[in-house]
């Protein structure tokens, strides 16, 4: 949830850390702080964004070749200067930055207070650094050993970096359940929550594993397990490119990412579809091809937008491969003793690959013997590593907190999976396969066409930017699209919005409809077209304002609706990929017109690594 970055080497540390914190700000922006080794262990921290920390440190001598920085998404303790990281030990000799939650912090804190420790913040993190100090005082072990002992005492998730006034040539980093990557340079090392702060300095990285501690000097790296066993690091080359992390002329990352979708979907399909042969090849799950022929059920676990992609998959897999699918919020699944067996395949969907609830759901499903397929965007993240098999979405880094291109890439991968399963099970004819794959291959071009409606959507946004509520309706796979449209609008514009199956409206939400209620309806020409028309009439009869997403050339809905946005005609299976685009643009423009921070909406963070 928080972002961490550290540097040790021959360069000036401050600029590397500050630039890194800006890149990591998508992970949290409640406060920012830096510890620098510069004639002592100096700490600068401030509530608010990284830019506020920069203002705060104007005129200060920020030299030094070793340091660490943190950008926070608050869990324990309100966003404030004193709760900002880095936190220090009681004697101010040690400093720590932390991403994650120390679950037993309360009992540890009580013990430490009884031993005379006093605390300056409300955070769980401060307890950990006091614990390390306490262990050193009680046992006279060195810092490395004290950190190791402390980590064996804490329960919870962490990625931490520690600096000591007495050891000005060493960073100590460790992880359990929160991501951490080490950048390997010549006489320098970097440490960060993801590779974005590292990319312009080195391509060589080591992904730290759970329960590993790295002792880092500028010319020496030692990795040990928390059981004190030396580990052999695996250095890999980053595929990330710097331009992927920049706005590239767009006003916001979200807009850039919306416009990237023709490319990201192409990347996602590359090497996986063979339209003329009617073939899908998914190397990541091919060793389970036989199992797929015989399974009775698939369970999908995910959160937020990824859960919406799961709902789309339910339609696709049941339709194509005739396998019953259940879609669960990972956060519910993990706490309700789910009925899962070795016969089941559990698909875990996650952009970040780090979502704590989805990780926990995977662990439970694994314990019960299920096979786990991961559908993730971030290569090498915890979820793909915890899965037995999987398919990456290859959408490239998504920086905007509101998910856009990651969603359509997830839907694309899940479409490929549905077709692949149908292929294995013989539930689809060869001619249908050729037809579907030929259409799928053309989807990036159709998305280009959807994007041409941008100005028209901007005009509609202008009319509704001051609305207080919105309703989104859809049927079939249009229902998850409605849910996703509502989520996008509420998370970036703070307008209350609900997504509903269109036919369910009459069972309650219809009471909300009056002449001020905009109702966005997915009303494309597919199997539920006539039914959706009836739902539109029900809205109009109550004076609601209808904004309809229609198929190009539509006349019937166009006559009834107040506003229409056209999308190109395509097979019904691909409706979610196309109908989502105008909803993303509508939310984007409304949020911009309301003066909201589109890329960093309040209270949110990109990867939710706490439960
Ligand atoms: O990284 P994940 O896909 O696991 O994240 C799941 C949700 O936290 C995420 O989709 C969230 O709902 C986004 N803010 C949606 O835009």
pLDDT tens figures, 474-526: 999 999 999 999 999 999 999 999 999 998 888 988 889 999 999 999 999 98
Residues 361 and 461 in one domain: no
- Ligand 1 atom nearest to 305, measured from its CA: 10
- Most confident range, picked from 3-7, 176-180, 500-504: 3-7
The CATH number linked to 464 is 3.40.50.10490
The reply to whether 384 falls in a domain is yes
Q: Which of 179, 399, 403 to mutate to test the pocket of ligand 1 (most atoms within 8 A of CB)?
A: 403
For 314, the token pair is 């339910």
* Residues 389-401 as b or e (16 or more Cβ within 10 Å = b): bbbbbbbbbbbbb
Residues 262 and 216 in one domain: no
The CATH number linked to 82 is 3.60.20.10
Is the pLDDT reported for residue 605 higher than 80?
no
All residues at 6 or more sequence positions from 464 whose CB lies less than 8 Å from its CB, including other chains: 470, 518, 547, 590
- Ligand 1 atom nearest to 304, measured from its CA: 12
Percentage of the chain with pLDDT > 90? Answer: 87
Rounded average pLDDT over 99-106: 92
Residues 444 and 466 in one domain: no
Dist. CA 500–CA 491, nearest whole Å? 17
Largest Cα span, the chain: 81
Which pLDDT tens digit goes with each residue over 359-386? 999 999 999 999 999 999 998 888 999 9
Residues 109 and 25 in one domain: yes
Rounded average pLDDT over 415-437: 96
Taking the centre of ligand 1 as the mean of its atom positions, its distance from the CA of residue 405, in whole angstroms, is 12
| Any atom of ligand 1 within 6 Å of the Cβ of 600 | no
| Any atom of ligand 1 within 6 Å of the Cβ of 551 | no
The reply to whether 611 falls in a domain is no
| Any atom of ligand 1 within 6 Å of the Cβ of 355 | yes
Q: Which of 257, 301, 306, 485 to mutate to test the pocket of ligand 1 (most atoms within 8 A of CB)?
A: 306
| Any atom of ligand 1 within 6 Å of the Cβ of 304 | yes
The reply to whether 508 falls in a domain is yes
Dist. CA 542–CA 155, nearest whole Å? 55
| Any atom of ligand 1 within 6 Å of the Cβ of 257 | no
Confidence of residue 46 (pLDDT cuts 50, 70, 90): very high
Confidence of residue 248 (pLDDT cuts 50, 70, 90): confident
Residues 29 and 147 in one domain: yes
Last residue of a domain, one of 429, 450, 471: 450
Is the pLDDT reported for residue 610 higher than 80?
no
Residues 254 and 277 in one domain: yes
Dist. CA 609–CA 330, nearest whole Å? 13
* Residues 460-483 as b or e (16 or more Cβ within 10 Å = b): bbeebbebeebbbbbbbbbbbbbb
pLDDT at 60: 93
Sign of CA dihedral 482, 483, 488, 491: positive
- Ligand 1 atom nearest to 607, measured from its CA: 1
pLDDT at 192: 97
- For residues 252 and 598, the answer to whether their CB atoms sit within 8 Å is yes
pLDDT at 178: 87
Is the pLDDT reported for residue 351 higher than 80?
yes
CA distances from 600 to 118, 532, 589, 604, 606 (A): 35, 35, 15, 7, 9
Radius of gyration of the chain measured on its C-alpha atoms: 25
Taking the centre of ligand 1 as the mean of its atom positions, its distance from the CA of residue 308, in whole angstroms, is 10
Which pLDDT tens digit goes with each residue over 546-556? 999 999 999 99
- SS3 at position 279: strand
Is the pLDDT reported for residue 174 higher than 80?
yes
pLDDT at 247: 86
The chain-wide mean pLDDT, for the chain, equals: 95
The reply to whether 233 falls in a domain is yes
pLDDT at 331: 94
Strands 345-350 and 371-376, bridge-based pairing: parallel
Q: Which of 305, 349, 376 to mutate to test the pocket of ligand 1 (most atoms within 8 A of CB)?
A: 305
Taking the centre of ligand 1 as the mean of its atom positions, its distance from the CA of residue 394, in whole angstroms, is 16
What is the 8-class DSSP label of residue 230?
Answer: B
- For residues 389 and 345, the answer to whether their CB atoms sit within 8 Å is no
Which domain, by its residues, includes 315? 247-450
The reply to whether 269 falls in a domain is yes
Residues 485 and 375 in one domain: no
Which pLDDT tens digit goes with each residue over 564-576? 999 999 999 999 9
Residues 201 and 267 in one domain: no
Is the pLDDT reported for residue 250 higher than 80?
yes
- 93 burial (CB, 10 Å; 0-12 / 13-18 / 19+) is middle
- SS3 at position 475: coil
Cis peptide before 456 (omega within 30 of 0): no
Query: Taking the mean position of all CA atoms in its chain, how far away is CA 206?
Result: 21
- At 353, give phi and psi (nearest 5°): 70, 15
The reply to whether 514 falls in a domain is yes
| Any atom of ligand 1 within 6 Å of the Cβ of 609 | no
Residues 136 and 212 in one domain: yes
Last residue of a domain, one of 395, 428, 450: 450
Residues 251 and 388 in one domain: yes
* Residues 282-309 as b or e (16 or more Cβ within 10 Å = b): bebbeebeeebeebebbbbbbbbbbbbb
Q: Which of 28, 304, 497, 608 to mutate to test the pocket of ligand 1 (most atoms within 8 A of CB)?
A: 304
Residues 201 and 315 in one domain: no
Instruction: Choose, from 2, 268, 320, 596, the residue flagged as catalytic.
Output: 2
- Ligand 1 atom nearest to 604, measured from its CA: 14
Dist. CA 539–CA 295, nearest whole Å? 42
Taking the centre of ligand 1 as the mean of its atom positions, its distance from the CA of residue 353, in whole angstroms, is 10
The reply to whether 607 falls in a domain is no
Strands 345-350 and 298-302, bridge-based pairing: parallel
pLDDT at 5: 98
Residues 435 and 485 in one domain: no
| Any atom of ligand 1 within 6 Å of the Cβ of 267 | no
Rounded average pLDDT over 324-348: 94
Domain count, the chain: 3
pLDDT at 257: 97
Last residue of a domain, one of 450, 483, 498: 450
Is the pLDDT reported for residue 195 higher than 80?
yes
Is the pLDDT reported for residue 611 higher than 80?
no
The reply to whether 36 falls in a domain is yes
pLDDT at 75: 81
Rounded average pLDDT over 539-548: 94
- Indicate if 2 belongs to the active site: yes
């Amino acid at each position: 949830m928080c972002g961490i970055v550290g540097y040790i080497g021959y360069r000036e540390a401050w600029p590397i850390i500050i630039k890194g914190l800006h890149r990591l700000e998508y992970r949290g922006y409640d406060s920012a702080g830096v510890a620098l080794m510069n004639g002592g262990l100096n700490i600068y921290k401030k509530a608010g964004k990284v830019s506020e920390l920069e203002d705060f440190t104007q005129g200060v001598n920020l030299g030094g070749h070793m340091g660490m920085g943190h950008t926070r998404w608050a869990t324990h303790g309100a966003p404030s200067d004193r709760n900002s990281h880095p936190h220090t030990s009681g004697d101010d000799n040690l400093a720590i930055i932390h991403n994650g939650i120390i679950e037993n912090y309360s009992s540890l804190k009580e013990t430490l207070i009884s031993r005379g420790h006093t605390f300056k913040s409300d955070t769980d993190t401060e307890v950990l650094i006091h614990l390390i100090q306490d262990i050193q005082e009680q046992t006279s072990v060195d810092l490395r050993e004290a950190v190791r002992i402390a980590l064996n005492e804490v329960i919870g998730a962490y990625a931490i970096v520690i600096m000591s006034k007495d050891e000005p040539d060493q960073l100590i980093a460790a992880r359990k359940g929160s991501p951490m990557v080490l950048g390997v340079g010549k006489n320098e090392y970097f440490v960060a929550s993801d590779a974005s702060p590292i990319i312009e300095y080195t391509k060589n990285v080591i992904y730290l594993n759970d329960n590993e501690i790295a002792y880092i000097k500028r010319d020496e790296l030692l990795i040990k397990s928390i059981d004190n066993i030396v580990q052999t690091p695996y250095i890999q080359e980053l595929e990330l490119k710097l331009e992927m992390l920049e706005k590239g002329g767009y006003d916001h990352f979200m807009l850039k990412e919306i416009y990237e979708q023709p490319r990201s979907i192409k990347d996602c399909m590359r090497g996986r579809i063979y339209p003329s042969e009617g073939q899908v090849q998914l190397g990541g799950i091919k060793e389970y091809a036989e199992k797929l022929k015989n399974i009775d059920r698939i369970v999908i676990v995910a959160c937020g937008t990824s859960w919406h992609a799961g709902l789309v998959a339910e339609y696709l897999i049941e339709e194509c491969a005739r396998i019953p699918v259940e879609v669960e919020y990972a956060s519910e699944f993990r706490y309700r003793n789910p009925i899962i067996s070795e016969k089941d395949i559990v698909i875990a969907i996650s952009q970040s690959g780090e979502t704590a609830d989805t990780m926990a759901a995977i662990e439970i499903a694994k314990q019960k013997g299920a096979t786990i397929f991961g559908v993730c965007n971030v290569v090498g993240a915890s979820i793909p590593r915890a899965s037995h098999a999987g398919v990456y979405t290859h959408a490239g880094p998504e920086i905007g907190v509101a998910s856009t291109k990651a969603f359509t890439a997830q839907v694309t991968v899940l479409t490929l999976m549905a077709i692949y399963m149908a292929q294995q099970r013989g539930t689809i004819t060869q001619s249908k396969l050729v037809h579907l794959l030929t259409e799928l291959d053309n989807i990036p071009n159709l998305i280009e066409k959807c994007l041409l409606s941008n100005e028209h959507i901007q005009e509609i946004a202008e009319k509704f930017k001051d609305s207080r509520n919105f309703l989104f309706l859809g049927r079939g796979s249009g229902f998850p699209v409605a849910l996703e449209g509502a989520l996008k609008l509420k998370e970036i514009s703070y307008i209350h919005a609900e997504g509903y199956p269109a036919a369910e409206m009459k069972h309650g939400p219809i009471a909300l409809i009056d002449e001020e209620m905009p109702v966005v309806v997915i009303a494309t020409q597919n199997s539920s077209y006539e039914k959706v028309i009836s739902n539109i009439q029900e809205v109009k009869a109550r004076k609601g304002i209808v904004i309809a997403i229609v198929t190009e050339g539509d006349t019937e809905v166009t006559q009834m609706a107040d506003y229409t946005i056209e999308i190109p005609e395509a097979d019904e299976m691909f409706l979610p990929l196309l109908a989502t685009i105008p909803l993303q643009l509508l939310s984007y423009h409304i949020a911009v017109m309301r003066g909201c921070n589109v890329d960093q909406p309040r209270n949110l963070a990109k990867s939710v690594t706490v439960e």
